Structure 1
Amino acid sequence: MHEFTLPDMTCGHCRAAVTEAVHELDSQAEVVVDLPQKTVRIDSDLPRARLAGALAEAGYPPA
């Protein structure tokens, strides 16, 4: 399980974009977004750095 803080994530569109970015890499990943806390938890076997890169490319760089 990987947890990231995404300061730029603010709305439902952001939630969808983050979820889609993760699922493009790992369609089986479980993605739990907490908008008020601006965090995302990702259950995936992929390396943390690869997930962080995908989030950054989608416009939500982890803090």
Structure 2
Amino acid sequence: MQRYKIEDMSCDHCVRTVEKAIRSVDPQATVTIDLATKEVSVATAAGPAPIAEALKNAGYECQPI
């Protein structure tokens, strides 16, 4: 399980964009997003670097937690 903090998430559109970015790397990923805490949990076979890169390309900086 990978976990990230994404400070720039502020709305449902952000949540959909983050989920879409993660699924572009691994369509089978299980993504759980808590907008209130700005935390994302990802169960994926992909490594953290491709996930972080996809999030960056979608306009979101993430911090592993």
TM range (shorter): over 0.9
What does the per-residue CA deviation read over 1:21-63, in whole Å, with 9 as the maximum and x for residues that have no partner? 0111111000000001001001001111110111111111113
In percent, how many aligned pairs have the same letter? 37
Tell me how large the CA RMSD over aligned residues is.
Answer: 0.7
Asked whether 1:41 is paired with 2:44, we answer no
TM-score relative to the length of structure 2:
0.92
Alignment correspondent of 2:54: 54
Aligned AA for 1:53?
A: E
Which ranges of 4 or more aligned residues in structure 1 deviate by more than 3 Å? none
Question: CA separation in 2, counterparts of 1:7 and 1:46?
Answer: 22
Question: CA separation in 1, counterparts of 2:37 and 2:56?
Answer: 18
Alignment correspondent of 2:29: 29
Aligned AA for 1:19?
A: E
> Is there any run of 5+ residues in structure 1 with no aligned partner, and where?
none
Asked whether 1:16 is paired with 2:31, we answer no
Question: CA separation in 1, counterparts of 2:20 and 2:40?
Answer: 13
